[in-house]
Structure 1
């Protein structure tokens, strides 16, 4: 593994927190994944600044940090994962070997793929698939507008790019970013940074689009 190799339990903790993509308690980790981040494991991940942990009541809440997201993606890309054995190990190696190839093929990052479970499911109607470059399909700007409308509901409101991006399917990130930058110059469209930067999660920062050297996290679309 790249510098300061992680043990299998430590690597598993990072991967589970990425899948959850939110702050999660040990009680919920035990219920959903039969896993706890406590004791020496918690202290080491905190010391490496890969996980932020805070006490709430008698337990802890954990959140993958920006460094944790970056470290996990780097380790997956390197392909030097902690040893895994048996049939379950074969499943893990197959999936974890496929994941970085999928990210590279679709020009996405882990935070684009792993999202909290409370994201909306389907958009009204069926969104056409992206297909291969050059195939006919709904223009990306139209898909962004439809995704925005599904999330904003009646009336215009600010929509987080963290919630918007998953509704665009496998559209390459670079194309989505370019479409958002073009749209910002249109009447009735605005992109802004989150005013309270302390509330941003690692997923929010990953989902931001950089326009004019400024990371922007929120989209608003009103009447043109």
Structure 2
């Protein structure tokens, strides 16, 4: 059952991020779906652990992304009753999504099987996170020390770059995992730059995982 203390705009924000799949700024949300996530909504969703948010670019625009808990929460929302005092259109929407959720339950499907980036389910990225951890342990001089993505990618020649990138981004949502840019950009080789990953409005080149 969905959390009763979430407001309708907060619920809408979660579902909008689910629909867009990837990280999204208010400009993206407005262009695609005609909504914006206000400060109070963002802060509450971050506090609940449903959304990760950061500022980027010259204008310090806010960017939002669902966490794993946020994805689970969206799955709950699809099967929830309409909020109190919802409009007729919103009640119709929730009636439709409850039917959709019932079909997913009968078919043993999750939201990650339906809402995909490109043509690959988001859930596919989860399967290789253990391999990433193992490769990092083998390559890192010590826990928490950065390993270049160029070195890391060589251990995943059998994995599509898009799948590896998705897994890295999901792994980076965990508290002790960081994707960071190289501080001294002059030391980057062409291979380092080619292996970089774009996230949060910048290119990152290093993975570090602190010891649990």
Aligned to 2:75, which of 73, 95, 98?
Answer: 73
> Which residue in the other structure is 1:123 paired with?
none
Q: Residues 73-117 of structure 1: CA distance to partner in whole angstroms, max 9, x if unpaired?
A: 22333x23324212x22430232111211211221100110113x
Question: What TM-score comes out, normalization by structure 1 length?
Answer: 0.52
Matches within 5 A, 1:136-215: 157-159=158-160, 198-200=168-170
Contact 1:14 1:68 in 2 (8 A): yes
Aligned residues: 133
| Alignment CA distance shift 1:197-1:32 (3 Å) | closer
Contact 2:81 2:95 in 1 (8 A): no
Question: In 1, distance between residues paired with 2:72 and 2:42?
Answer: 18
Question: In 2, distance between residues paired with 1:109 and 1:74?
Answer: 10
> Which residue in the other structure is 1:100 paired with?
101
Matches within 5 A, 1:6-85: 6-57=6-57, 58=59, 59-77=61-79, 79-83=80-84, 84-85=86-87
Q: Give ranges in structure 2 of 5+ residues lacking alignment.
A: 121-156, 173-212
The alignment yields a C-alpha RMSD, in angstroms, of: 2.9
Q: Residues 185-215 of structure 1: CA distance to partner in whole angstroms, max 9, x if unpaired?
A: xxxxxxxxx599642279xxxxxxxxxxxxx
Question: In 2, distance between residues paired with 1:197 and 1:115?
Answer: 13
Q: Give ranges in structure 1 of 5+ residues lacking alignment.
A: 121-155, 164-193, 203-224
| Alignment CA distance shift 1:159-1:108 (3 Å) | farther
| Alignment CA distance shift 1:195-1:22 (3 Å) | closer
Residue 16 of structure 1 and its aligned partner are, at CA, apart by: 0.8
* SS of the residue 1:61 aligns to: strand
Question: In 2, distance between residues paired with 1:74 and 1:89?
Answer: 16
Question: In 2, distance between residues paired with 1:3 and 1:62?
Answer: 20
* SS of the residue 1:200 aligns to: helix
Question: In 1, distance between residues paired with 2:15 and 2:98?
Answer: 13
Contact 2:25 2:64 in 1 (8 A): yes
